[in-house]
Amino acid sequence: MNAKKYVEKTFEEMKQRNDGQIEFHQAVEEVFKSLIPVFEKHPEYIENGILERIVEPERQLMFRVPWVDDNGNVKVNRGFRIQFNSAIGPYKGGLRLHPTVNLSIIKFLGFEQIFKNSLTGLPIGGGKGGSDFDPKGKSDGEIMRFCQSFMTELCKYIGQYMDVPAGDIGVGGREIGYLFGQYKRLKSTYEAGVLTGKGLNYGGSLVRKEATGYGLIYFVDEMLKGKGMSFKDKKVVVSGSGNVAIYAMEKAQQLGAKVIACSDSNGYIYDKNGIDLDTVKKIKEVERKRIKEYIKYHKDAEYHEEHRGIWTIQCDIALPCATQNEINEQEAKVLIENGVIAVGEGANMPSTLDAVNVFLQNGVLFGPAKAANAGGVAVSALEMSQNSMRYSWTFEEVDERLNNIMKNIYINTVKCAEEYGYKDNYVVGANIAGFLKVADAMLAQGIV
């Protein structure tokens, strides 16, 4: 069968089988379009149904999560875990707690995770999970009771050699601690490698908190170096103010950039003097308050209610680090009109397909999420390695390994883009580089 027709046919069949799952469709479409030249060169992938199999999760779990709030009221949320592909290692991917979580979002995240994990060069497969539980405004006791209930069901399907969850939106060190405590209680074993993002005093890794943000900057820095540029004196806008955004801002500042804006789901702050990161960390990591508190400490700064307005700010480098589809086609055009030279995706799929096309058609250096934000899962895998060895590396050792992983992702992305005729298209390059390793492993293991 003609490669293009094969890809189009498989995509249409996927849409019919997953009706209404818009985010999942979007993630699959972006990858599938990139793979047409691969199938032209490797018909054995068609013959062995690689595409049909890779787009169907190996296992989809959905379950009830009952818990009791501080007032004694029974609440019920829905839990998910998608175990997408284990061809190159145990399922690996975060848990997201957010009211928007549904099957489509968890499947898009799990599908992306297959290729992202492959790109790291480490032996980890793709998975994702979460719940429509909203941790905002909840007490520590409520979050603990939810996490314990969630893990009571999830523990049946995870393990250090089967599926290793981590954190994502709404899941930080506090939540991982409660989840790990309940797992240990239920299993009566100290299986440190079952979860990553743990506290340093019970099996966690240094640099894990910083990993996604640092990794993003390491990847974008490689893109800039490839064109004879650097972060020095560049104006940077970062959406979000969670772990990814905070540590992307930190590393960008260390490399000489001037970060002038960041946001949360309510609005964004603009500081022409450069964002004071200590203030952001105090607001978000200690006080757990909204970003608008920043202007109480910095009178020259501005706060704007509409968080998407952050993309109207003139900048050299844009780093979307909040959530999916936060930059649309029009916002991409505004960024280009304002002189953006590089975009690095710190969040998962933060640019719509139309926005990505606008960036690529206008020569913007574009680091797609599955390559640019792979640092988090890379250090999660390094945490698993340390747990297996009963040993901990220093901050500098982990950071150096992370930097090397991101450099290799960039090198392999560039190599595949050029080999398949898409020079400077890091979207295609990352998709192909991530796919080839998984596809070859699937071929070797037979029709399973």
The predicted pLDDT at position 14 comes to: 98
Mean pLDDT calculated for residue range 354-380: 97
Q: How many CB atoms lie within 10 A of CB 448?
A: 8
Query: Is residue 211 within 8 Å of residue 399, measured between CB atoms?
Result: no
Cβ-contact 195, 180 below 8 angstroms: yes
Q: Percent of the chain beyond pLDDT 90? A: 98
pLDDT at 16: 97
Architecture of domain 1-190+424-448: 3-Layer(aba) Sandwich (3.40)
- Alpha-helical regions (H) of 127-172: 140-154
CB 90 within 8 A of CB 160: yes
Q: What is the mean pLDDT of residues 420-432?
A: 97
**pLDDT single digits (tens) 251-300:** 999 999 999 999 999 999 999 999 999 999 999 999 989 999 999 999 99
Q: Are 178 and 100 in contact (CB under 8 A)?
A: no
Q: What confidence score (pLDDT) does residue 418 get?
A: 97
Q: What is the mean pLDDT of residues 228-234?
A: 98
Please give the Cα distance from 361 to 10 (Å, whole number).
Answer: 27
Residues 430 and 436 sit within 8 Å (Cβ to Cβ): no
Q: What is the torsional sign of CA 20, 354, 370, 346?
A: negative
Q: What is the pLDDT of residue 3?
A: 94
Same CATH fold assignment for domains 1-190+424-448 and 211-367: yes
Strand bridging mode 302-304 / 268-270: antiparallel
- Residue 417 in this model has a pLDDT that exceeds 80: yes
Write the burial class of residue 8 (CB in 10 Å: 0-12 exposed, 13-18 middle, 19+ buried).
middle
429: pLDDT confidence band, cut at 50, 70 and 90?
very high
- How confident is the model at residue 91, as a pLDDT? 98
Catalytically annotated residues: 128
Kindly report the pTM of this predicted structure. 0.94
Q: What is the mean pLDDT of residues 427-435?
A: 98
Per-residue model confidence (pLDDT) at position 1: 73
In tens, the pLDDT along 288-317 reads 899 999 999 999 999 999 899 999 999 999
Q: Give the number of residues written for the chain.
A: 448
Token pair belonging to 419 = 């080999």
Q: What is the mean pLDDT of residues 219-237?
A: 98
- For residue 131, the Cα-to-chain-centroid distance in whole angstroms is 16
Digit-coded pLDDT (tens) for 124-167: 999 999 999 999 999 999 999 999 999 999 999 999 999 999 99
Domain ranges for the chain: 1-190+424-448, 211-367
Note the pLDDT of residue 430: 98
Backbone angles phi, psi at 303, to 5 degrees: -120, 135
Q: Which two tokens stand for residue 372?
A: 């640019």
Mean pLDDT, the chain, integer: 97
Spell out the residues 6+ positions from residue 193 whose beta carbon is closer than 8 angstroms to its own: 160, 164, 203, 384, 387, 388
Q: Categorize the per-residue pLDDT at 17 as very low, low, confident or very high, splitting at 50, 70 and 90.
A: very high
Q: Give 106-116 pLDDT, tens digit per residue.
A: 999 999 999 99
Taking 3-state DSSP, the helix, strand and coil percentages for the chain, each rounded to the nearest 5, stand at 50, 15, 35
In this model, does residue 181 exceed pLDDT 80? yes
Helices (H) and strands (E) in the chain — how many of each? Answer: 17, 12
56 — pLDDT class (breaks 50, 70, 90)? very high
Tokens 């943000």 locate to: 213
Q: Return the pLDDT at 344.
A: 98
H-run or E-run covering 256:
none
Q: Class assignment of domain 211-367?
A: alpha beta
Cite the DSSP H helix spans in 42-139: 43-47, 50-54, 103-119
Strand residues in 178-322 grouped as ranges (E)? 235-239, 258-263, 268-270, 302-304, 317-320
Q: Which residues pair with 259 in a beta bridge?
A: 236
